[in-house]
Amino acid sequence: MSKTIKLAFLWHMHQPDYRDAEGIMKMPWVFLHAIKDYYDMPWILTQFPQMKATFNLTPSLIEQLKLYANPLENDYFLQLWSRYPSELSFDEKEWLIKIYKSAIYNTMIKPLPRFNELFHLQTYTDDELNDLQIQYLLSWCGNYLRLNNDTVKMLLQKERDYSYEDKKSLLHALSSFVGEILPFYSSLLQKGAISISTTPYFHPILPLLINMDNVQKSNIHTKPPKNPLSFKADAVKHVQRAIVLYKETFGVDPVGFWPAEGAVDEESVAIYKEEGIEWIATDEAILFKSLDNDTKANIYQPYDIDGLFIAFRDHGLSDLLGFDYRFKPAGKAVEHFISSIEPLASPDNDTIFIILDGENAWEYYPDNAYPFFMQFYKRLSELSWCKTVCMDELLKDERVELDSLTPGSWINGDFSTWSGHVEKNRAWELLFQTRRDVDNCTYEISQENKKEIENNFLAAECSDWFWWYGDDHFTEFAAEFDSIFRKHLISIYNLLQIQPPSYLYESIIKHKNTSSYILKPQSPIYPKIDGKTSSFFEWVGCGVVHENRSFSTMDKERGPVEKIRYGHNETMVYIAFDGDIARLSKKGTVLELIIEELSESITLGLETEKHPSGIVLCTDTSFEIALPKTLFAKIQTVHLRFEIEQDGKMIQTLPGFEALELKLNEDYSNSWFV
């Protein structure tokens, strides 16, 4: 009997609701990903008729996409962007420049010579800032626009000295393009080329709304917020409103839901079933906990929980696409994926569920992952033993009965990303107190205000606000996210015609330093390579990368390395990995060192003490490496990456954000520190 495998891709497309009380979107990410990802992802799929996939479109994304029929009325960023720089205030210019410089340098800024030139300036003339404004939007334009839109092609070729008419033409072209996105999805759905699922309305963590006890049910070490309330009625509204919007948009009822953050528990399952949803999906960690068995083979089949189809994603394979393959040449990445799934093919025709963020990963890939996807889909469509399927098509497959479902999410199988830290819990506690104040209101509230109060509560329950609180995720725009959350609560009091409490005007975020996960080297270092800190001073002045803090809009299963220390002196480069050293030291662990400038890699077994190249390694309480500078020839600036493999599987790529940059001729004369 021949061996086969089914691949079920689910690409999750989501942005939080950025609208303020006046309905104006205060952040630009819906528009930016619209011109880069939301059309491109299904469009690339259509280049290969044999390929199928499921796209999850969240209600907050769908509603905001529709607002771009009138972009200058609804988007604050575009209101400022559309004006000539001389018309902007100092603060408006500074905010725009912060956004422009937040683009990914290596893949979005550097490939555009004029953008790269402007990026390094500290001050701007009006004409330079005008060029920067247009170059920024061009850097976000996806491959469909670059290949097919005459305005985008013309402005990319022109490169500089843009006129105001150029700006108007670009805005018109891009806004018109955004209007084509949802109809395109609808047409593909009607043809059966894709499935479309959705998510509870404002992307809330449904199990936490229903019962905050789920925090500790999923992880006994996570501290829940004080004096919690159940928002179960809101949880039902999120599901019902999502279904209504889906039908308004696509003309049919949704078949499946991707629960926000893959967050599930048995009570939320009951809500989905009661509202007519036929399938949901979550992470493999939930299955392992539910079965009290972490045998990987168990995830390659659908399950049934109280009559609802439930799928469990392969976390490792999903993370390869979301995080690791951006560092590999497209061809090698594709072959690595195929070699990873081929052993899973069996006569039972099992299914692999690949579920991940469908928008935020690709700006880290060259050319927004277009070369990767073109090769990826081509190779998959050629495989006789592999077939891609939509989630909706799997409902007829035989399922395994699941007796119970442990609460959790797709991150660590628990809810610690949204609760536990003092900032996260403070946000929940403000939400609970606002609900108590509304419930204790003794006078009649108009139906119109009741509706607006409900909307603000639902919007404040979005998972994204809690994501950015605490010290596990970093963004330069944390203050903006914090402000949006608190303004929803302030609006509720204003609708009650009650003075909002003063604490709602105080930032929840305290002492947040968005660059604190990366510290550049400050001086030469001379450590002893013995795997332990023999002296406090030997690593003083080194650079530090906090791997456990370096992910932002996406998250992945964290590997054993939590922190990287690095630096160099006249003759040597030093690297130290800190974290779960016992896991890192597991027999058979292999470290691949990649030197980007030389397109070379060196394979090191972690039990090795000295490599023929002169590399010295030692493991004790840390894993330390010394690299002779002669390895880098005469290169003055070197970029290093590391891949850790165990049992033939990649478990971590380092650094997680981009290559580690070392300026080997740096004298540190400007790096005085005490």
> Are 274 and 307 in contact, with CB atoms under 8 Å apart?
no
Would you call 43 exposed, middle or buried from its count of C-beta atoms within 10 A (0-12, 13-18, 19+)? Answer: middle
Q: How far apart, in whole angstroms, are the C-alpha atoms of residue 31 and residue 140?
A: 10
| Average pLDDT per block of 10 residues along the chain, 674 residues long | 90 95 94 98 97 98 97 97 96 96 93 96 95 98 98 98 96 98 98 97 98 96 96 98 98 98 98 98 97 96 96 95 92 96 90 96 96 98 97 96 96 94 97 96 91 96 94 85 95 95 93 62 86 75 77 63 88 89 83 84 76 84 87 85 82 80 76 41
pLDDT at 554: 54
> Are 290 and 406 in contact, with CB atoms under 8 Å apart?
yes
- By DSSP bridging, strand 53-57 and strand 194-197 are parallel
Interacting residues of 26 by C-beta distance below 8 A, sequence separation 6+: 18, 19, 20, 76, 480, 484
pLDDT at 553: 53
Q: How far apart, in whole angstroms, are the C-alpha atoms of residue 590 and residue 646?
A: 6
- Dig out the tokens for 334 from the structure: 């594709």
- Dig out the tokens for 207 from the structure: 């199990």
Mind listing the domains of the chain with CATH numbers? Answer: 422-505 (1.20.1430), 518-663 (2.60.40.10)
> Are 606 and 625 in contact, with CB atoms under 8 Å apart?
no
DSSP for 532-566?
Answer: S-S-TTTTTT-EEEEGGG---S------SEEEEEE
pLDDT at 552: 53
Q: How far apart, in whole angstroms, are the C-alpha atoms of residue 567 and residue 546?
A: 15
278: nearest Cα among 182, 189, 195, 183? 195
Which strands, in side-by-side order, build the sheet including 279-283? Answer: 256-257, 279-283, 308-313, 303-305, 400-401
pLDDT at 672: 41
pLDDT at 673: 38
> Are 82 and 92 in contact, with CB atoms under 8 Å apart?
no
- Check: pTM over 0.75? Answer yes or no: yes
339: nearest Cα among 322, 370, 361, 317? 317
- By DSSP bridging, strand 616-619 and strand 194-197 are unpaired
Q: How far apart, in whole angstroms, are the C-alpha atoms of residue 539 and residue 535?
A: 8
